[in-house]
Every structure is written in C-alpha cells, then in structure tokens.
C-alpha cells in the first residue's frame, strides 16, 4: 500500500479546521455525504497523535476511498494478440520460453531429489 501518512495528516488538519467552525462531528460527516463515514472515524483521525511517525487512518479500503486517501484502482486491460506488434509478440514468446526453461529445471531438480 502507498504511504498515506502525508494525506492523513492533511486530512486531520482539514478536519480540525472544519470542526472549529462547525463544532459537531455529526454535521461534519454530513458534509462528506457518504453513509459509511461515521463521526467517530473523523474524530479519531483529527485527534490522533503521531505514534512512531504515523498518523492514524482507517484500514478499510472503502473508508479510505470515501475519505479520498486512496484512488480507485483502474481495471487492467489485456491487449488482444491480434492487436500486438511483431516486436511485442517476439518479446512475449521469449518470456514464455524463459518461463518454460525455469519450469523444466524445477521438474528435473525434483525428479533428482
């Protein structure tokens, strides 16, 4: 996972600043508009002290997404074989041959044991 400490620290500073104006964690959660964010979570992020150099943040990925600490993963797309260039196909073949050689070496090693 990426280093969330700087983002969590910025979020904590922003939450403390907004809390000074609003004075209610419940109203602050309404600003985020996401029902999974609870007032206690925002309070804990804002008031947590740095322990061993890290700011507290929730571990659940859905909360991290809702708070803007991480971005959603982009779906991985695989290029179809017929759209690949000649060089890409040669490179793919070379990598597959290397893998097969490694598998053959492992099989020979296990047979010998």
Q: What is each CA distance from 16 to 13, 53, 59, 98, in whole angstroms?
A: 5, 19, 21, 55
Cα–Cα nearest to 68, from 106, 97, 105, 31: 31
How many Å apart are CA 16 and CA 35, to the nearest integer?
20
* pLDDT band at residue 113 using 50, 70 and 90 as cut-offs: confident
- pLDDT tens per residue across span 36-90: 999 999 998 888 876 556 678 888 999 999 888 888 888 888 889 899 999 999 9
- pLDDT tens per residue across span 16-27: 999 999 889 999
Residue 71, Ramachandran bin (φ over 0: left; ψ between -120 and 50: alpha; else beta):
beta
| Six token digits for residue 15 | 């939450």
* Residue 2 predicted with pLDDT over 80: no
Quick one: pLDDT at residue 34? 85
Quick one: pLDDT at residue 8? 83
């Amino acid at each position: 996972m990426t280093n969330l400490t700087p983002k969590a620290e910025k979020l904590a500073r922003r939450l403390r600043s907004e809390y000074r104006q609003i004075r209610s964690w419940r109203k602050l959660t309404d600003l985020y508009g996401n029902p999974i964010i609870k007032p206690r979570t925002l309070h804990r992020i804002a008031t947590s002290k740095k322990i061993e150099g890290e700011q507290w943040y929730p571990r659940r990925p859905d909360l991290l997404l809702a708070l803007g600490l991480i971005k959603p993963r982009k779906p991985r797309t695989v290029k179809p074989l017929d759209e690949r260039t000649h060089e890409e196909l040669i490179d793919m073949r070379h990598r597959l041959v290397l893998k097969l050689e490694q598998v053959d070496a492992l099989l020979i090693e296990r047979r010998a044991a």
